Amino acid sequence: MNDKKNNIILEEYEDEFSYKKSKTNLNIEFNRIAFIFFVFLIISIIYSIQLLHLGSVKKKVNNIKPLIIKKNYRADIVDRNGNYLVKTVSSIDIGINPIEVIDKKKLLINLKLIFPNKDYIKISKKLEKNKYFYLEKKITADNYEKIMMLGDKSIKSEEKLTRIYPQKNLFSHIIGQIDDDNKGISGLEKSFDKKLKKIKEPLKLTVDTDIQFLIREELIKFHSIFRSKGSTAILMNVNNGDIISMVSYPDFDLNKRETVNDVNFINRATKGVYELGSVFKTFTVAAGLEEGLIKTDTEFLNLEKRLKCGKNIISEYDKKIPSDLTVEQILIRSGNIGSVRIGQKLEIEKLKLFLEKIGVLSKIDFDIEEVGEPIPFRWGKCKLATVSFGHGITTTPLQLAKGYAIITNGGFEIKPSLVQKKLEDNQKQKRIIKKGVSKQINEILRKIVTTKEGTAGFANIRGFEVGGKTGTAEKAIVGGYTRKAKVNTFASIFPTSKPKYVMVVLLDEPKTSKDYIYKYKNKIGSYKGTPFNTAGWTSVEVAGKIIEKIGPILATKYIEN
Partner 1 sequence: MRKVIFATIIILILATSLVKNSTKELEDKIFMVNENIRPLKSELGDVLLEFNYLSSPDKLTKYQSQYFEKDLIKIDITKIKKLTKKNNHINVSDFIEKTKDE
Residues that bind partner 1 (CB under 8 A): 34, 38, 41-42, 45, 48-49, 52-53, 56, 59-60, 63, 66, 76, 83-84, 87, 89, 164, 166-168, 170, 209-210, 213-214, 446, 450, 462-465, 497, 548-549, 551-552, 555-556
**Which residue, 499 or 551, is less far from partner 1 as judged by CB?**
551
**b/e string for 145-168 if b means 16 or more Cβ within 10 A?**
ebbeeeebebbeeeeeeebebebe
- Are the C-beta atoms of 408 and 238 separated by less than 8 Å? yes
* DSSP code for 516: P
Distance CA 268, CA 362 (A): 17
- Are the C-beta atoms of 469 and 333 separated by less than 8 Å? no
Smallest distance from the beta carbon of 253 to partner 1, in angstroms?
11
- Between CA 310 and CA 315, with CA 311 as vertex, the angle to 5 degrees is 90
**Which residue, 531 or 552, is less far from partner 1 as judged by CB?**
552
Q: Which helix (H) or strand (E) holds 85?
A: strand 84-96
Length of the chain: 561
**Which residue, 48 or 72, is less far from partner 1 as judged by CB?**
48
Smallest distance from the beta carbon of 210 to partner 1, in angstroms?
6
**b/e string for 546-558 if b means 16 or more Cβ within 10 A?**
bbbebbeebeeee
- Are the C-beta atoms of 506 and 397 separated by less than 8 Å? yes
Amino acid at 278: S
Strands (DSSP E) contained in 396-495 are: 467-477, 480-494
- Are the C-beta atoms of 397 and 489 separated by less than 8 Å? yes
**Which residue, 271 or 545, is less far from partner 1 as judged by CB?**
545
**Which residue, 87 or 257, is less far from partner 1 as judged by CB?**
87
Sign of CA dihedral 22, 25, 31, 36: negative
Distance CA 343, CA 281 (A): 9
Smallest distance from the beta carbon of 467 to partner 1, in angstroms?
10
Smallest distance from the beta carbon of 465 to partner 1, in angstroms?
6
**Which residue, 77 or 360, is less far from partner 1 as judged by CB?**
77
Pairing of strands 526-528, 133-136: unpaired
Smallest distance from the beta carbon of 438 to partner 1, in angstroms?
17
Terminal alpha carbon distance of the chain: 109
In the three-class reduction of DSSP (H, G, I as helix; E, B as strand; rest coil), residue 490 is classed as: strand
**Which residue, 170 or 276, is less far from partner 1 as judged by CB?**
170
**Which residue, 49 or 109, is less far from partner 1 as judged by CB?**
49
Distance CA 331, CA 261 (A): 41
**Which residue, 17 or 30, is less far from partner 1 as judged by CB?**
30
**Which residue, 78 or 405, is less far from partner 1 as judged by CB?**
78
For residue 191, CA distances in Å to 74, 176, 194, 208, 233 come to 14, 10, 8, 20, 22
Smallest distance from the beta carbon of 166 to partner 1, in angstroms?
4
**Which residue, 65 or 378, is less far from partner 1 as judged by CB?**
65
Smallest distance from the beta carbon of 497 to partner 1, in angstroms?
7
Smallest distance from the beta carbon of 437 to partner 1, in angstroms?
21
Smallest distance from the beta carbon of 214 to partner 1, in angstroms?
7
For residue 421, the tally of other CB atoms under 10 A from its CB is 15
Pairing of strands 517-519, 526-528: antiparallel
Partnered with residue 507 across adjacent β-strands are 231, 488
**Which residue, 37 or 379, is less far from partner 1 as judged by CB?**
37
Smallest distance from the beta carbon of 48 to partner 1, in angstroms?
7
Smallest distance from the beta carbon of 294 to partner 1, in angstroms?
24
Smallest distance from the beta carbon of 292 to partner 1, in angstroms?
28
